[in-house]
A and B are shown apart, each in its own frame.
Chain A
Amino acid sequence: EVQLVESGGGLVQPGGSLRLSCAASGFTVSSNYMSWVRQAPGKGLEWVSVIYSGGSTYYADSVKGRFTISRHNSKNTLYLQMNSLRAEDTAVYYCARVYCSSTSCYAGRGLYFDYWGQGTLVTVSS
């Protein structure tokens, strides 16, 4: 059974840093594309970042240069290092396994989120 369990959320001051973790079971993180998606309070879903099985990483413009996605293969865990946090980064952060059904997965087309974790809340406030 595929399971994703996020942790690491909390209250942080503007300009601060936080690292989120996502422990996976039932599949191998390093063999899959993995992503972070966030949801601001009462708002919709916003894609944040993806890491390919080959290690390539990509980010939404809103977090580029501030967030870093990574993984620890032996721990089967996904991470999101968040620096220079802003009030607008306040959200529930979900990790998700990414499935690709296209012939151009490397180009980022035809990717979708098939399994999601329960989310962890990040609040950026002074």
Chain B
Amino acid sequence: DIVMTQTPLSLSVTPGQPASISCKSSQSLLHSDGKTYLYWYLQKPGQSPQLLIYEVSNRFSGVPDRFSGSGSGTDFTLKISRVEAEDVGVYYCMQSIQPLQFTFGPGTKVDIK
């Protein structure tokens, strides 16, 4: 089974400053169809998770452009160009290259300094 790891597990950011979260998978998430099956979710306090990024770098509908995703193979990064107060919560990466083996990372908790 693929194992997803995230660093850091906790991050405190000053509003207006950038933030970066790393996600690594134990196997490549690049499929022979050319797609890389890596996703990012944000779970705000007391809320359900919401999709931010699909297939490494595609922002989901309504997601602000201060969020960006990058990476390839086994190493991925979510960046927030200028953190806002509403961005606090836990960020999860997830893979779905293994059939019916949705694996989430442990989560990175982001709060405001």
Residues of A at under 8 Å CB distance from B? 37, 44-47, 50, 58, 94, 99, 101-104, 107-119
Contact = CB atoms under 8 A, between A and B. Distances in A.
Given A94-B48, A94-B49, A107-B99, A112 B104 contact: no
Given A44-B107, A101-B35, A102-B35, A112 B96 contact: yes
B49 A111 contact: no
B62 to A, nearest CB: 11
A117 B49 CA distance: 9
Interface in B77-113: 92, 94, 96-102, 104-107
A116 B48 contact: yes
Contacts of B51: 112-115
A42 B100 CA distance: 24
Contacts of A108: 96, 99-101
Contacts of B97: 109-110
B75 interface: no
Given A103-B33, A109-B98, 15 more contacts: A37-B49, A45-B41, A50-B100, A101-B55, A102-B35, A104-B33, A109-B37, A111-B96, A112-B51, A113-B41, A114-B51, A115-B51, A116-B50, A118-B48, A119-B48
Interface string B35-57: 10101010000011111001100
Nearest to A99: B54
A94 B41 CA distance: 14
A102 B31 contact: yes
A110 B106 CA distance: 20
B92 A45 contact: yes
B98 A112 contact: no
Nearest to B39: A112
B48 A112 contact: no
B37 A102 contact: yes
B106 A44 contact: yes
B102 A47 contact: yes
A99 B35 CA distance: 15
Given A101-B54, A114-B60, A116-B49, A109 B31 contact: yes
